Copies of this chain bind each other. A is one copy, B any other.
Amino acid sequence: MSVFIDACRRKEAEYTPVWFMRQAGRYLPSYRSLKGSRNVLEIAKDPGLASEAVVGAVRELGVDAGIIFADIMLPLEGMGVKFRIEEDVGPVVSGPIRTPDDVSQLKDFDSRSDAVEVYEGIDETVRKLDGTPLIGFSGAPFTLAGYVVEGAPSRELERTKMMMYDDPDSWKALMGKLTSMVESYLDRQIKHGVDAVQLFDSWVGCLSPADYDRYVLPYTRKIIESIGGRVPTIHFCANSGPLIERFQSTKADVLSVDWRVAVDDVWRRCADRVGVQGNLDPVVAAVGGETMRRQTGDILQQAQIHRGHVFSLGHGVLKVTSPSNLKQLVNIVHEKTRSRK
């Protein structure tokens, strides 16, 4: 097995594994030349290019895992959602989903015919990675609901919350449909060979703990249950401080947190019964130098007495980041944690 999977399973790992969200991204010259003028969806739907992007980043940075190249919105095409991905903005949905009618017209996702390019990309990536673990992923229902209800990236997700509070029947129907999609999308990814899955509930930190319990938790729990421990599950949320205990109760193996909450605080609040992924601020990785070295040292020191640390950034790599900073970061983490043994 690999150090990455060992860490996800909270086994003794030889050293602390590292990978970065958006490690195959525009900060990387080799990715920019692969990308050319293509948009993200065109690459994601081309198994040759998608696998090349994943493997290129893994080899260049020396990280311990790759993540499939896809967009969080991609499987929604199969449900009939119309959208485009605008560079530097994000997904823009034409015809947002807001009324009971909008919700009832969403099609059921069919994993035999929808997002098939993603599964083909997984086949090809697994071959090329030659043993390095591959992480599959999906957006979580709340975060996907946020995109389709708002229609565009939004700071406070006001319309989404309004549907949640004001039209609970539509909310349940929408969350139910999205949950079914995520279950079958991840199931198919696992069957094609991903070694772990990460569920991105990136924006759910905008809810109160009580609302999270009422409107989101049952759906997330159902998804994790459907995976049934076949591969480790990683739950990601930006800004997750107040919800840590709730995320643990989803039974995810690993909680991926950002820099707003200290990693040792996560272990403490979860009585060490969870893996923790994170949590350097991506701005610090972009700044590099002494600040990066010091803050990385702090995180590793907090993690030292706990099992199940996957080092990562608290969010995706910033476009302005120099790849040499990330290579240095990988080396720092590997060297410092190897020498402890």
Contacts and interface: CB of A to CB of B under 8 A. Distances in A.
A318 interface: yes
A262 B242 CA distance: 9
Given A242-B241, A298-B210, A162 B286 contact: yes
A283 B161 contact: yes
A215 to B, nearest CB: 11
Contacts of A99: none
How many copies make up the complex?
2
Nearest to A298: B210
Nearest to A160: B283
Given A241-B241, A241-B242, A242-B241, A208 B281 contact: yes
Contacts of A291: 165-166
Given A161-B283, A241-B241, A318-B158, A259 B166 contact: no
A261 interface: yes
Contact of A260 (B242, B281, B287, B289): B242
A298 B260 CA distance: 27
Given A155-B155, A166-B291, A241-B241, A207 B283 contact: no
A287 B166 CA distance: 7
A290 B239 CA distance: 29
A239 to B, nearest CB: 7
Given A165-B287, A241-B241, A242-B241, A260 B205 contact: yes
A57 to B, nearest CB: 22
A270 interface: no
A93 B96 CA distance: 33
Interface in A151-202: 155-156, 158, 161-162, 165-166
Given A165-B287, A284-B165, A208 B242 contact: no
A72 interface: no
Interface residues of A, number: 33
Contacts of A156: 283, 315
Contacts of A286: 158, 162
A218 interface: no
Interface in A292-323: 295, 298, 315, 318
A206 interface: yes
Contact of A283 (B155, B165, B210, B284): B165
Given A158-B286, A208-B262, 19 more contacts: A155-B155, A158-B283, A158-B318, A161-B284, A162-B287, A165-B283, A165-B291, A166-B287, A166-B289, A207-B259, A207-B260, A208-B260, A209-B262, A210-B262, A211-B281, A241-B242, A242-B242, A242-B261, A242-B262
17 contacts: A155-B155, A156-B283, A156-B315, A158-B283, A161-B281, A161-B284, A162-B283, A166-B291, A205-B260, A207-B259, A207-B260, A208-B259, A209-B260, A210-B295, A210-B298, A241-B260, A242-B260
9 tightest A-B CB contacts, nearest first = A241-B242, A208-B259, A161-B283, A241-B241, A165-B291, A165-B287, A166-B287, A242-B261, A242-B260
